[in-house]
Amino acid sequence: MKQYLEINPIVKEALENNKPVVALESTIISHGMPYPKNVEVALEVERLARENGVVPATIGIINGKLKVGLTEDEINLLGREGLKVPKVSRRDLAYVVSNKLNGATTVATTMLISALAGVKIFATGGIGGVHRNAEVTMDISADLEELGQTNVAVICAGAKSILDLKLTLEYLETKGVPVLGYKTKELPAFYTRKSGFNLDYKIETPNEFANILKTKWDLGLNGGVVIANPIPEEFAMDYDVITNAINEAIVEAEEKGIKGKDTTPFLLDKVKTITAGKSLEANIQLVFNNVKLAAEIAKELVRL
């Protein structure tokens, strides 16, 4: 698979010299936020990573190459093209690569490509999960299967309640994926710090996370880890406001017959409109917060 991989020279130098690298995904750019805010945020996230002492590697597919460390021009391209860029999850990868297309990578494919390149820490907003009503639709994100098998830690703000959070936690348990809370024993629900669902482990320091990751992989326990980092209090949304917005968006998605890979981008956009852009602002802030924690963990991990 390595012949399809193209690692940016700065990222390559860092990896060869055991310097900390943090992977970032590109679906959040093309499908998760509107242009041009998406590009501004993607570039600011990279700047924040550097400021916090790590090398950022935004991952995406350009002309069929699995790129580890997109250039500014490439980030601009994926951001500008937005929904026209294929959203590439595991099942889409072979088609997009063999046809030498561009593609935005989801959590699943960003993990997969990170692992190929040797990047162990990946920061994003939220992971995909088991959708509400999945007992009928069977809509379960490939992100969860990837977490079950690929050795990368994903720092996120939990999962959005457009998903069934209880079933998402059950699925992760079945797959043997640790879900670790940062200074919390409750799964954060992306826009809010609380979800009502408990986690087993509350972790207090980046060093502790790094030790758990190293131990897991030393033990031969393949698979990812979810590091759940609640949105900072000052940026969190009101629980009732966001819950109502999400419920309204879900009803509209059902009425319009939105399904499959279009569901998450549709719901994100609707929620943004219903909340008059407040959800987008929260989304941006939580990503910044996750990159900072990811940088601390990546720096600890290279010391072990």
Residue 143 interacts with which of Mn ion, ligand PSU, none, CB < 5 to 8 Å by class? ligand PSU
The nearest distance, CB 183 to ligand PSU, in angstroms, is 22
- Closest to Mn ion by CB, 138 or 219: 138
Q: Contact residues for ligand PSU (CB under 6 A)?
A: 25, 27-28, 31-32, 89, 106-107, 125-126, 128, 141-143, 160, 261, 264, 268
Q: How far is CA 146 from CA 105, 153, 176, 224, in A?
A: 13, 11, 11, 8
DSSP labels, 130-178: BBTTHHHH--B-HHHHHHTT---EEEESB--TTB-HHHHHHHHHHTT--
* Interface segment toward Mn ion; rule CB under 5 A; list 64-72, 97-105, 133-141, 277-285: 133-141
Which of the following is catalytic: 12, 120, 160, 261?
160
Strand ranges in 193-286 using DSSP code E only, listed in sequence order: 201-203, 225-228
The nearest distance, CB 19 to ligand PSU, in angstroms, is 26
The nearest distance, CB 172 to ligand PSU, in angstroms, is 14
16: annotated active-site residue: no
Q: In this chain, which residue has its C-beta nearest to ligand PSU? A: 32
- Closest to Mn ion by CB, 134 or 302: 134
CA distance 136 to 121: 34
Residue 188 interacts with which of ligand PSU, Mn ion, none, CB < 5 to 8 Å by class? none
160: annotated active-site residue: yes
Tell me: does residue 46 bind Mn ion (CB under 5 A). no
| DSSP state letter for 186 | B
- Closest to ligand PSU by CB, 15 or 29: 29
Residues whose CB is less than 8 angstroms from the CB of residue 238 and which lie 6 or more positions away in sequence, other chains included: none
Is the previous residue joined to 36 through a cis bond, with omega within 30 degrees of 0? yes
Tell me: does residue 269 bind Mn ion (CB under 5 A). no
Structure tokens at 111: 């993990």
CA 52 from chain center: how many Å? 19
Of 139, 143, 164, 296, the one binding Mn ion (CB under 5 A) is 139
The nearest distance, CB 217 to ligand PSU, in angstroms, is 22
CA distance 32 to 156: 14
- Closest to ligand PSU by CB, 60 or 206: 60
The nearest distance, CB 19 to Mn ion, in angstroms, is 35
Phi first, then psi: what are they for 228, rounded to 5°? -100, 115
- Closest to ligand PSU by CB, 59 or 77: 59
Q: How far is CA 121 from CA 49, 179, 205, 246, 303, in A?
A: 12, 15, 15, 30, 14
Under rule CB under 5 A, how many of the chain's residues touch Mn ion? 1
**Residues noted as catalytic:** 25, 160
Binding site for Mn ion (CB under 5 A): 139
